[in-house]
Amino acid sequence: MNNLQIRNFVIISHIDHGKSTLADRLLELTNTVPKDKMRAQYLDMMDLERERGVTIKMAPVRMIWKDSILNLIDTPGHVDFAYEVSRALAAVEGALLLVDATAGIQAQTLFNLEKAQKQNLKIIPIINKIDSPAAQIEKTQEELVSLGFQKEEILQISAKTGQNVQNVLKAIIERIPPPIENLQNPLKALIFDLLYDQYKGVIAYVRVFDGTIAKNEKIKFLIGETEGEILELGYFKPQFATASKISAGEIGYLKTGIKEISKIMVGDTITLASIAHPEQDLKIAGYQQPKPMVFASIYPIEGENHKKLADALGKLKLNDYSLSFNFERSKALGAGFRCGFLGLFHLEITKERLERESALELIVTSPTVDIQVTEHGYREPYVDLEIITPQQYLGQAMELAQSHRGQYKEIKYLGDRVIVLYENPLSEIIIGFYDQLKNLSEGYASMNYQFSGYRDADLVQLDILIAGEKVEPMTQIVARSKSESTSRNIVKKLKDLVPRQLYKVSLQAAIGAKIVAREDIPAMRKDVTAPLYGGDVTRKRKLLEKQKKGKKRLKHLGKVDIPSDLFLELLKID
């Protein structure tokens, strides 16, 4: 195998721009997956990904086309999984920039493009969905040209029909440079993803930069300062395909047998254990611990499942390095974990993965941002917000940003669309803002944001009381200017979410000793078996059994039973 034959690349794209469909066509054209086994979104291995139509996890695959080895790392398009993209970019030399001709360039696409350019990757611009009646090919082409691409280098395809997709394969080989690593140098491999196997321990997804690694060799993890032995290695086709060795320039997997998952991390460098003092020269720099933007607590409904939840979080973190968690105990909900996420969608996906993969029933508290408490008051995180919108929606988009405590910075132009920049508190952006932006622009606007630092803020602590008892997990820090409207919305929503009890239940929002909002839930008087008169006794039993099952997903909170999804349902407040 010659390094000149290898091409390593990713696909950069916004959600629904056709990235998974293009990957499917590449798999078909290269005969990587037999036609009788092919299905849509083939590289989206999780049921959750196919159900939602969203790539959540990066997925590597090795394809062969015209004597060339093409290593694709398929990446997510949602803003909450930007860290997945950054890890993939560190392992390749090129990127396909895929833009939907019916939607144009989106904010998240620009963000990932900038990252790829900083890595000095070769970018191949591609316009997709040219077969759609709504395609605006010339307009999309102008947007790409405004970003610095030459008109003649822009490919036009339909990933759905396969039109011109062979030109993509040709461009990958002709434009993306081969890796230049040296086989003779000591082993240096970067971990860009991890997986846990109950039989073979930690499985590392690696890009080998220098040297060669073979089965049964002893390896060392430089950051984790631990050692292991290669039980198996190979390539992604896209399932694991064993090989005798992996050499410089290649992408593959290593089964290590290591069961102590806390000692292995994404971004670590692997070398041979026999190399003396390797950290001096071989450690690959550039990876940073992702910074959580949103925090929420996770508790098992059944208290005895705390250890099971701890194990599940540890294994999930291997596969999702942007997840963080620490033990905590709540008077109301018992033992749980305070978890950090990159965004609300990341939180939602994490909850679903934990419940599915570990058969757990969980309560997730209302998400918050990281507020700093000082002797002078509060400091809250701010973000640089970027909105891309057609010009006719500019005024509404600006009003929306300003109503969420935004401070205007700048306007730029992208073809006949506008990029408007604001500085906003993170807490104003994470809940509901994106949906409101999509609604006011009829789906045409998009947004992206990056953490910019902490600022002093006029905030107050808002407490929620149910049946006169303070509910700790519902306590939040809010802007003083919005505290009363937020309080009214919360108690109003709680009235619909908290099940009726056998007694009247008060719902209150308080700032300090002052009650600023209140609703009451009337007592429940109806007996589920009352309408039944005479007849088969099994009818009563069925109703009572149904009622019993319904209680299984309740958690006792002080005097009141609450549904497990109550906290996330609160996010639907207008």
293 CB contacts (<8 Å, ≥6 apart)?
Answer: 340, 341, 342, 343, 369, 381, 426, 430, 451
Are 493 and 571 in contact, with CB atoms under 8 Å apart?
Answer: no
Tokens read off for 459: 């905030």
Count Cα atoms within 13 angstroms, Cβ side, for 191: 29
Are 1 and 69 in contact, with CB atoms under 8 Å apart?
Answer: yes
Q: What is the pTM of this model?
A: 0.77
Please indicate if the annotation marks 416 as binding a ligand.
no
Tokens read off for 363: 């309560």
| 238 preceded by a cis bond (ω within 30 of 0) | yes
Question: 536's torsion region: left (phi>0), alpha (psi -120 to 50) or beta?
Answer: beta
**Spatial distance between the Cα atoms of 233 and 213, rounded to a whole number of angstroms:** 9
282-285 long-range contacts, Cβ below 8 Å, gap at least 24?
Answer: 282/186, 282/188, 282/222, 283/222, 283/223, 284/188, 284/190, 284/209
Per-residue pLDDT of the chain (574 residues), as tens digits, is 567 799 999 998 887 888 889 999 999 999 998 877 877 776 766 666 666 666 666 789 999 998 899 999 987 766 667 677 777 888 999 999 999 999 888 888 888 888 899 889 999 999 999 999 999 999 999 999 999 999 999 999 999 999 999 999 999 999 999 998 778 888 999 988 888 887 788 899 999 999 999 999 999 988 878 888 999 999 999 889 999 999 999 999 999 888 877 778 888 889 998 875 655 567 776 556 677 888 989 998 887 888 999 999 988 887 777 788 999 988 777 889 999 988 888 888 889 889 888 888 888 888 889 899 888 889 999 999 999 999 999 999 999 999 999 999 999 988 788 999 999 999 998 888 888 998 899 888 888 888 899 999 999 999 998 888 888 878 889 999 999 998 998 899 888 888 887 778 889 999 999 999 999 988 875 554 545 555 565 666 666 666 555 444 445 555 566 666 677 677 654 4
Please indicate if the annotation marks 20 as binding a ligand.
yes
Are 354 and 312 in contact, with CB atoms under 8 Å apart?
Answer: yes
Listed by start position, the domains of the chain span 3-175, 188-280, 294-364, 372-457, 460-572
Segments of 432-472 assigned E as strands = 446-457, 459-466, 469-470
For domain 188-280, give the fold.
Answer: Elongation Factor Tu (Ef-tu); domain 3 (2.40.30)
Provide the b/e sequence for 70-109 (b: ≥16 CB within 10 Å).
bbbbbbbbbbbbbbbbbbbbbbbbbbbbbbbbbbbbbbbb
H-helix or E-strand containing 532?
A: none
**Spatial distance between the Cα atoms of 362 and 568, rounded to a whole number of angstroms:** 11
| 3.40.50.1970, 3.40.140.10, 3.30.70.240, 3.40.50.920: CATH of 372-457 | 3.30.70.240
Helices 344-358, 306-319: crossing angle, 10 deg rounding = 120
Please indicate if the annotation marks 358 as binding a ligand.
no
The single-letter code of the amino acid at 391 is: Q
Count Cα atoms within 13 angstroms, Cβ side, for 523: 5
Pick from 567, 128, 152, 154: nearest CA to 339: 567
pLDDT at 533: 52
For domain 294-364, give the fold.
Answer: Alpha-Beta Plaits (3.30.70)
**Spatial distance between the Cα atoms of 261 and 325, rounded to a whole number of angstroms:** 14
Examine domains 294-364 and 460-572 and report if their fold is the same: yes
pLDDT at 525: 56
In the 3-class helix/strand/coil scheme, how is 145-199 assigned residue by residue? HHCCCCHHHCEECECCCCECHHHHHHHHHHHCCCCCCCCCCCCEEEEEEEEEECC
Pick from 88, 329, 124, 288: nearest CA to 207: 88
Q: pLDDT tens for residues 445-467?
A: 888 888 899 999 999 999 998 88
**Spatial distance between the Cα atoms of 408 and 177, rounded to a whole number of angstroms:** 41
**Spatial distance between the Cα atoms of 67 and 5, rounded to a whole number of angstroms:** 7
Is the CATH number of domain 460-572 3.40.710.10?
Answer: no
Are 571 and 494 in contact, with CB atoms under 8 Å apart?
Answer: no
| 1.10.3720.10, 3.40.50.300, 3.40.50.620, 1.20.1300.10: CATH of 3-175 | 3.40.50.300
Please indicate if the annotation marks 129 as binding a ligand.
yes
Please indicate if the annotation marks 130 as binding a ligand.
yes
Please indicate if the annotation marks 21 as binding a ligand.
yes
Residue 169: count of CB within 10 angstroms of its CB: 19
Q: pLDDT tens for residues 387-444?
A: 999 999 999 999 999 999 999 999 998 878 899 999 999 999 888 888 899 889 988 8
Provide the b/e sequence for 136-149 (b: ≥16 CB within 10 Å).
beeebbebbeebeb
Residue 423: count of CB within 10 angstroms of its CB: 18
Please indicate if the annotation marks 15 as binding a ligand.
no
